[in-house]
Chain A
Amino acid sequence: MPDPMRIRAQFTDGVTTVRVLMSHEMETGLRKDAQGMIVPAWFIQQVTAQLNDRTVLTAQWGPSVAKNPYLQFRIKGGAAGDRVTISWIDNRDETRTDSAVVT
Chain B
Amino acid sequence: MCSRREALLRSAQLASMLAGLGLLPRIVSAQAAAQVQGQAAPPTLVVAGATTAWNAVAFEAKSVADVMNALGAAMPVASAEVALTAPDIAENGAVVPVAVSVALPGVKRILLLVEKNPATLSAVFDVTAQVEPALSTRVKMGQTSNVFAVAITGDDRVFYASKEVKVTLGGCGG
User: Interface on A for B, CB 8 Å cutoff?
Assistant: 15, 26, 28, 30-32, 45-46, 48-51, 53-67, 69-77, 85, 87, 89, 91, 93, 95, 97
CA A93 – CA B59 in complex, angstroms?
17
- Give the most central of A58, A87, A93: most B CB within 10 Å: A58
Using a CB–CB cutoff of 8 Å, the interface residues on chain B facing chain A are 4-5, 44-52, 54-55, 59, 94-97, 99, 114, 117-119, 121-132, 134-141, 171-174
Q: Are B137 and A65 in contact (CB under 8 A)?
A: yes
Contact B134 A73 (CB under 8 A): yes
In the bound complex, do residue B52 and residue A58 qualify as a contact, i.e. CB atoms below 8 Å apart?
A: yes
CA distance A64 to B122 in the complex (A): 5
Residue of A nearest to B4 (CB): A93
Rounded to whole angstroms, the CA-CA distance of A95 and B47 in the bound complex is: 11
A60 to B125: give the CA distance in the assembly, Å: 6
With contacts A54-B130, A87-B47 known, is A60 near B140, CB below 8 A? no
Q: B135 touching A73 by the CB < 8 A rule? A: yes
12 other contacts beyond A61-B123, A74-B134, with CB at 8 A cut-off? A48-B50, A56-B131, A59-B125, A64-B139, A66-B94, A66-B95, A67-B140, A69-B137, A72-B137, A75-B131, A75-B132, A76-B131
Q: Which of B44, B118, B138, B173 lies in contact with A65, CB distance below 8 A?
A: B138
Which chain B residue has the least Cβ–Cβ distance from A33?
Answer: B174
Minimum CB–CB distance from A68 to chain B (whole Å) comes to 9
Q: Which residue of B lies closest to A28 (CB)?
A: B172
Which of B48, B117, B118, B132 is in CB contact (< 8 Å) with A53?
B48
Contacts of A66 in B (CB 8 A): 94-96, 137-140, 171
The residue of chain B having its C-beta at the shortest distance from the C-beta of A97 within the complex is B47
Picked from B52, B94, B114, B126, the residue with its CB within 8 Å of the CB of A57 is: B126
Q: List 18 A-B contacts (CB under 8 A).
A: A15-B132, A46-B50, A55-B50, A56-B130, A56-B131, A57-B131, A58-B49, A59-B124, A60-B54, A60-B55, A61-B122, A61-B124, A62-B123, A65-B137, A66-B95, A66-B137, A87-B47, A95-B45
Do A67 and B95 contact each other (CB < 8 Å), given the known contacts A48-B49, A87-B45, A89-B45?
A: yes
CB-nearest residue of chain B relative to A62? Answer: B59
In the complex, A26 Cα to B131 Cα: how many Å? 26
Among A30, A46, A97, which residue has its beta carbon within 8 angstroms of that of B172?
A: A30
The complex places the Cα of A93 from the Cα of B49 at a distance, in Å, of: 18
Residues from chain A with Cβ under 8 Å of B117 in the complex: 64
Q: Chain A contacts of B140 at CB under 8 A?
A: 26, 28, 63-67
Given A30-B173, A69-B138, A87-B47, residue A64 in contact with residue B130 (CB < 8 A): no
